[in-house]
Every structure is written in C-alpha cells, then in structure tokens.
A and B are shown apart, each in its own frame.
Chain A
Amino acid sequence: MLVRDCMTRHPVMVSPDTLITEARRVFVENEIGHLPVVSDGKKLLGLITHTHFSMNMDTLDSLDFWEISRKMSDVKVKNVMIKAKKIITVDPNTTVEFAANLLSEHNIGCLPVVDEENQVVGMITTIDLLRSYQEMLGLPTPGIRVTVRMPAKKRGYSEFAKLISSIADQDWGVMGIGTFPTPNHPENYDAVLKIPGVSMESVRQVIESIPDQHIVDIREVG
C-alpha cells in the first residue's frame, strides 16, 4: 500500500491572502485539522493547523473586544502559516509505513502529498493511516481473527510460509494479515490473520496441527 492509495485527494486548500477568520471558518465547517496554503497552480506555500488558532491569553488580556476584532481582521493566512521549507512532505509513491514513520518521528499529524513540481495532490493524516491499518487487517469483513505465535529466527522466518500453505491446503481465503515481533520475546513473532466464512473450530484444528506454532488468541469478529 502506497501513500497515493490512502491519501485524501483534492484536499481543501486556501490561498495565502485568505483572512485568518475565513480560514478558521473553513476549518470548522469541514471538520478538518490541517489546511495547506497554495499559490496559483496548487504549489505548496505553507500549512495551517489547529495550533494557529489558539490565542495566547497574555496578549489578549491587554486588548479590548474592539481591538481584538480590528487586529484579527488584518491577519492573513500567510502571516501565521508554517512556511513551505519547514514542512515535511511526501511523494504519492512513498510507502505507507515510511509515511507513518515520518509522522511518528517528527510528532506531527499530517503530511502534504506533493508531486515533482511541488504541486499538492493530496493530504495524508494519522487518521488516513489508521484507516489503512484497519483495512490491512480486514476490518469490515466478518470472519475468524486468529493470532498465531511462531519462532522467528529458526530457518529464517520460514514458519510463516508453513502457516500459509496449511491455510492454502484448506482452500480458505485471507482478508487481512499482519505480522509483528512478539512483545518482549524477540525469539518469536506473531501473525494476525482474518479468515472469512469458516468456523472457529476448523481454524483451531488446522493451525494446531502445525508443529512449533500455537494460537495466542482466536475470536469471531463481525
């Protein structure tokens, strides 16, 4: 899965000369958390996030209502936005895990997706990544969700192939799949599979017949 498969295409964008009050309205009405600022030809110039609308109480204290509204009516998006050179962007052909890595490493909530000409083609947020994570594990389809633990280092991660081939022997489908090292047990790793249209008993039987592997968790999910 690549960024272009799970990003939001045609995101809402504003021009640098938009008033901050107008930008705030766009924010609220569209229930979005990030707003790219673009020039003619959708070139990325900056980014506005929630934090730009939070007011510093100290500065506000010294102003009365009329001064606040006068001050606000002068502020444009370009005065407060994060400038383009400070923004971390991704290419639409980046992998989702790399995008997720960028987000967690820099502790940010979104990445503008830009093409070679710095033109904004989409936005990817933590929510989009969480959604693709759900899809990878086959969330909307009902079925048997089973977590299988197997040795990691032995024969170079080939245990997983055994598991798959015994499922293939049954002619079962797999709607979602994920593997990860077992927490605190680096010698093992776990695989989560979603198998639709079978009974829990038959899954248990097939997997337990594989030597060295055992079921950590099995449940039917809708």
Chain B
Amino acid sequence: MTDFSTKTKEKMPVLKLDNLSVAYKVRGGEVEAVQDVSFEIHRGEAVGVVGESGCGKSTVAWAVVNFLTSNGYVKRGSITFQGQDLVNQSSEALRRLRGDQIAMVYQDPMKALNPSMRIGDQMKEVLTVHKGLKPAEAEERCIEMLNRVYMPDPTDVLRRFPHQLSGGQQQRVVIAMSLLNNPALLIMDEPTTALDVTVEAAVLDLISDLRKEFDTAIMYISHNLGVISRVCSKVAVMYAGKMAEFAEVEDIFRSPKHPYTQGLIRAIPKLGEDKLSSRLYPIQGRVPAPNRRPEGCVYHPRCDYAQSLCRNKKPEFRLLDNKTWVRCHFAEDIDPSEWEPDDTEIVEKTEVDDETILSVDNLKTYYEVQGSSLRDMLKLNPPKYVKAVEDASFEVKRGRTLGVVGESGCGKSTLIKTLIGLEKMTDGDASFMGLEITEPLSHRRGEVLKELQMVFQNPDSTMNPSYTVGQQIARPMRKFGVVPKGDVKKEVIKLLKSMRMGENYYDRFPHQLSGGEKQRVGIARALATYPDLLLCDEPVSALDVSVQAAILNLLLLIQNKYGTTMLFIAHDLSVVRYFSDEIMVMYLGQVMEKGPSEAIYSPPFHPYTEALLSAVPVIDPNAQQKRIRLEGNVPSAIDPPTGCRFHTRCPRRKLMPDGGDACVTQIPPWQDMGNGHHIFCHLPEETLRSFEPVITIKE
C-alpha cells in the first residue's frame, strides 16, 4: 500500500505507553526501574528498544504483559493495548489477551520449548486447547505456519524433540508458535542474540517479512544497534530507566541527537575499520543502579558535554523540529562531528622482531564418539570420530593478532583448546617458540605453561567466587615465580592499574564487580605471567558495546606495550576485522581462507566468507549490502561432506563446470592470491576475483 493510505489509516496505535513508570519494592523502599517511558507502536510497525544492560529495556516488555516479578508493579502511567488499559485488568483478562493477541519471543529458544514434548505436540496444543481445533486441522495449520517461517521439511520437524533441532530452527519454531494465534503485538526480547550471524540474518529477514505480511506490531528489544537498524522503523534509546531518544531509524543513525546515542554508535567497530586507522571510543563510567541515579540529567556523569545545568535540572523529553524526541538540554547545540575524545592515550607500538612464534602444521583434533548399539559397546564396529579440527596449518608472528571466525561448531574453540593443551591433539605438529606443544597440559613444562595463557568468554564462570581479585591474579605469579614473593602484591597492583582499575580492587570479590570489570580481571590474570601468546576465546561477546570497546582498547594497549601475540576468536566479524592483523575463516573444522585482514574482507574471497560478510548487521545507513543466505544447517562433523566440506551449502557452486562435481568428489586446492592470502576453493582465481564487494557505501 502507498504511504498515502497508511497515513490516513493509522490513527490508533496497537500499543501505547504513556509516562510508564515501573517500580520494584525492595527492602527499605522501592526503586523505579523504569521512569516516564512513552511511545506508540502502530500496526505493521517495528519499534526497537536499545540500551546497555540494566537500562530497563526488558522491564518495559514485562510490564506490558504483566510478567513483572511479585515485587514489581506499574507505579504511574498507562499501557493501552488496542484501546484497552492493561494496567488495571484482571489477571484472567490479561491471560486471554496474552493468548489471543500478544505473543512473546525470548532470547533462549530452548527455555521456551518443553524438552520432553515433540515439537508437533507443543505447537498443536496452542490450537487444540486454546481454540478447540481438531488435532488433524491443528497439524495442518502448524505445517502451514512452519512453512511460513521457511522451516525445511516441516512434517518431519513436528515429530522431533527440541534438542534435535539447531538453535536457529528452535527459534523459528518459537516464532511460528507465537504467530499461530495471529497476534496484534509481538514482543521480542533479544531473539537473535544467542544465534550465529548467518542464522541471525535469516531470522531477521523472516521477522521483517512477517511484519509486512501479518501487519503485526513488533516491539524489538536488543543491545545490538546493527540488528535494530535491519528490522525496525523506529528506535527508542533507553538509559537508566528513561528514554533518551526516540526517532526514525534513519535519523538515529544519520544524526543521533542525544550524547548517549552518539556514544553507543561510536563504540561499535564499523565493518571495514581496523585498529591502525581508527579507534573505538567507549563511554566512560557505567549505568548507575536504579537507587543511585544522579541528580539532574541521569546521563551527566558520563556525558562529554555536561554543564552545570545538566547537574541541577532534569531535562524534559521534548520534540526537536525533525520529529526526534530527545531528553537533553543541549541537543540542538551538540554536533557529533565536532566531538573529540578527551583521553588520547596511545601507546607506541613496541618494536618486536619478526620471528614466527607459533607454527601449526596439519593439526587434527578428533573426538571419539561412543555408539549406542551392542556392536559399538563390544568395540566390534570401527570407532567413529567427530572431526572437530581437520588439517589446520598456520603461523603467527610475534606481536601480531590472528583472528579466527566461523559459525558455532566450526572448531574455533577446539583449535585453541588444543593449542593450550586442554584437548588432546590427534595428529599434526605444533611448535611454540621452538618448543613442541603437541602433548596435553599435564605433560607440559612450566615454561610453556607460563608463556601460553587464555582469556575466556564468560568472566563470571572463570573466577573462583570465594577468592579476592588480588588472590586470583597473584596465584599464577606465585606458581611460576614471575616476581620475588615479597613483590607479588606490588606487581598485582601495577597490573590492575594497567587495566585501569585502582588499588582498591585488590580486596574485592568477583560478585562486587561489573561484567566489564570481571573481564578486566580475567585479562589481568592471563597477563600475570607476562605470556608471549594470549589465547582469547570470545573475550568481548558477553559484554555491552561500550564495555566491549573499552576491553578491546585495553587488549590493544597491552599488545602495544608488551608486544604480546594474540589468537583472537569472536563471532562478530566487525570486531575481528578491527582487532586482527591476520584472519582465518573456519567452516566445519576446516580452514577455508586465511590471510591479512584487509584481504579477507574484500574480493577475492571464499564463498563462505562472502556469505558470512553479507550476514553481518551493518548500521551505516549509506551502506548497501549484498544478500546471500546460506541454506540448511552446518552438517554433522561426524560425517562431514566429501570433497569440499562447504559444497552442500555453497551458493557459488553453480559457477563451477558440470554443476560442481569437483566440489563433491575432490578436496579443493589451496590457492595463493598473493600477499599471504590463501583460499581453499575449487573456483579459479579469476572467478574469485570477479566477485563484487559485499558492502558498498553509496555517497
């Protein structure tokens, strides 16, 4: 339909929040987690809600469906859904509304599905119990809906249990289930955060298709601005329980008005930027707890533009002339292009000799799989293996960073666990500074252990909750005798300071730290022995964007200061591109492409790399992105496809002569593209070079 008709048609929003405040009763009073939030969502419109963790995004969503915990309640304001006030409804009326007209999709699909019921029974239940449909009819409707969400082979999926589906498929089932009742409002709380980029891209495409087809109003909560820019038409930026800015998606990314929005956008590495040409700017400080919000503008302690007015007077949420709502006294006067970082702490890169520090040759890591048949038990069948890493060969030079990317299950974590000795190497050679590191951890000598350290993904689960920060960092120092016993404390404090944490952190326990601080301690502990090689397994993926920027800067600083070599795993391609000198792309245990990072992100590239790049959510409103979606799932690593492991999903296979027979039967050659760039593909070099770039910026 044309703009004209939608304009005349849309008077009444599906959901209207008016000055909504939500409070939690706690000991000694109550805290207002959400204050004065107002926005509207119309039919067929998707409104994104962004902000760091602890800003009250999810609380807003829970208030709408009345899923607040027993101590939470709507203190002021109203929630109007389809003209009816939701705040004072009886629980029975709310239950009916939730069943019929409001649906929710949450982050973890596994939690929304009952693990002990078949998918078909769970989905049919919605229709048979709620609507009194006959089972046969219900099944038909379920199949129809699964087809709508592009689920391959829906009849078969109905007979499976949730654990037999991949994460992306589970999330599609949850979305299909939520749409069975044709809801007027769909609330999605970080629905793609737990998914791989390629799956995420497919789910996001699906959401925007469904919005158009069903005219559903969508409230989309996410911390990822790229994702929001892909599905939403309007964005509400929340900070410390209040709305900081509300505008059309284009306006938010083209000219953000609130300093917080500007800060969020600056903290994200843009795809194609690297650490040499650009810097990330984290937002200083962190989100205040709801009971410790500052006077005046809640953002002023972190704001670069704060003046005395900001400290004394709360800004109104007001409308600027270009239809942007903003809560800032000086929104008109702030020009983000004139912004300059206040701390320009750049440590000159330590010059290091260009020796190869780590060299890996045909590394294989297999896991034996125990079959369940009697023959398997008696070891009569030949053993089966999961080929987690197959023939990985690479070298890393001192002071450089090698980034490893790929979907989950591609073997990136196994690779570094093998290098550090947590997994047993099946075959191949690996040498580190001339020392063999093929044997497992328990057989390694002290020097090797000391020089190889690891930073883990989840800082929460890697720290012993009953040891203080100081003890955690001091332990490896004592064990390896890095410094004389008397100097340990001094050394720990020095290390903490270089992590930008004060001496007062020495006696704190992990539960007294925020996520970003925990990760800093994790890094400090890994650095306690001043290792030569630091293995980082998704060190920033559990963190908010602004904290992520701070941690990345810190890692860079360390690298420049100590000349540390790093192996860096992340699923976010923009982060990897920003941080790494060289990149290795893995698929199903096989290295598909390796080379200098700038070479990986522009043609020629491997068809798999191309698909990964086209799935990355891009926030630049001028960027045009090619749309390549991989079909199906990553095949099982027990029985990987013959020939090229990627041939079952390769969108470029049709470019090969005779429909790509060679891809099925022969293992591809390593083709040298020059400058250390190698591609593992049958396609001739000219064809690979003829690919268009994935992302083009139009002026």
Contact string against A for B residues 371-412, beta-carbon threshold 8 Å, 1 for contact and 0 otherwise: 000000000000000000000000000000000000000000
A131 contacts B9, CB within 8 Å?
A: yes
Stretch at the interface among B27-35, B92-100, B309-317, B665-673: B92-100
Chain A residues within 8 Å of B137, by CB: 117
**Of B11, B83, B132, B182, which one neighbours A26 at CB under 8 angstroms?**
B83
Beyond A12-B82, A139-B4, 6 extra complex contacts between A and B, CB < 8 Å: A8-B9, A13-B82, A40-B100, A41-B99, A42-B181, A131-B9
Minimal Cβ-Cβ distance residue in A for B7: A140
CB distance from A57 to the nearest CB of B (A): 29
**Known contacts A40-B130, A117-B133; is-contact A29 B96 (Cβ 8 Å):** no
Chain A residues within 8 Å of B82, by CB: 10, 12-13, 30
Report if B38 contacts A (CB, 8 A).
Answer: no
Minimal Cβ-Cβ distance residue in A for B3: A140
A15 contacts B93, CB within 8 Å?
A: yes
**Of A12, A40, A43, A121, which one neighbours B83 at CB under 8 angstroms?**
A12
Report if A135 contacts B (CB, 8 A).
Answer: yes
**Known contacts A10-B43, A29-B83; is-contact A117 B131 (Cβ 8 Å):** yes
B100 contacts A42, CB within 8 Å?
A: yes
Interface of B is mostly: loop
**Known contacts A10-B184, A40-B130; is-contact A26 B96 (Cβ 8 Å):** no
Report if B12 contacts A (CB, 8 A).
Answer: yes
**Chain B interface residues toward A at CB < 8 A:** 1-5, 8-9, 11-12, 14, 43-44, 82-84, 93, 96, 99-101, 130-133, 137, 181-184, 214-217
Total A-B contacts with CB atoms under 8 angstroms apart: 72
Q: Which bracket fits the contact residues of A?
A: 20 to 34
Please measure, in the bound complex, the distance between the C-alpha atom of A26 and the C-alpha atom of B84, giving whole angstroms.
7
Chain B residues within 8 Å of A42, by CB: 100-101, 181-182
CB distance from B670 to the nearest CB of A (A): 53
B11 contacts A41, CB within 8 Å?
A: no
Report if A119 contacts B (CB, 8 A).
Answer: yes
24 inter-chain pairs at a CB distance below 8 angstroms, sorted by A residue, are: A9-B184, A10-B82, A10-B183, A10-B215, A10-B216, A12-B83, A13-B82, A13-B101, A29-B83, A30-B12, A31-B11, A31-B12, A32-B12, A40-B96, A40-B130, A40-B131, A41-B131, A41-B181, A42-B100, A42-B181, A117-B137, A121-B182, A139-B4, A140-B2
Chain A residues within 8 Å of B131, by CB: 40-41, 43, 117, 119
Chain A residues within 8 Å of B11, by CB: 30-31
Chain A residues within 8 Å of B132, by CB: 41
Please measure, in the bound complex, the distance between the C-alpha atom of A11 and the C-alpha atom of B353, giving whole angstroms.
71
Chain B residues within 8 Å of A135, by CB: 1-2, 5
Minimal Cβ-Cβ distance residue in B for A42: B100
Interface members, chain A 5-53 (any B CB < 8 Å): 8-10, 12-15, 26, 29-32, 38, 40-43
CB distance from B99 to the nearest CB of A (A): 7
Please measure, in the bound complex, the distance between the C-alpha atom of A135 and the C-alpha atom of B99, giving whole angstroms.
35
Please measure, in the bound complex, the distance between the C-alpha atom of A135 and the C-alpha atom of B3, giving whole angstroms.
11
Chain A residues within 8 Å of B100, by CB: 38, 40-42
Minimal Cβ-Cβ distance residue in B for A131: B5
Chain B residues within 8 Å of A131, by CB: 5, 8-9
Chain B residues within 8 Å of A14, by CB: 84
Chain A residues within 8 Å of B183, by CB: 10
**Known contacts A117-B133, A131-B5; is-contact A9 B96 (Cβ 8 Å):** no
Minimal Cβ-Cβ distance residue in A for B95: A40
CB distance from A119 to the nearest CB of B (A): 7
Minimal Cβ-Cβ distance residue in A for B2: A140
Please measure, in the bound complex, the distance between the C-alpha atom of A41 and the C-alpha atom of B99, giving whole angstroms.
8
**Of B5, B14, B84, which one neighbours A10 at CB under 8 angstroms?**
B14
B4 contacts A9, CB within 8 Å?
A: no
Minimal Cβ-Cβ distance residue in A for B10: A8
Please measure, in the bound complex, the distance between the C-alpha atom of A117 and the C-alpha atom of B454, giving whole angstroms.
59
Which 8 residue pairs of A and B lie closest in terms of their CB atoms, listed nearest first? A10-B184, A140-B4, A41-B131, A9-B215, A30-B83, A26-B83, A12-B82, A30-B12
CB distance from A48 to the nearest CB of B (A): 13
Please measure, in the bound complex, the distance between the C-alpha atom of A31 and the C-alpha atom of B10, giving whole angstroms.
11
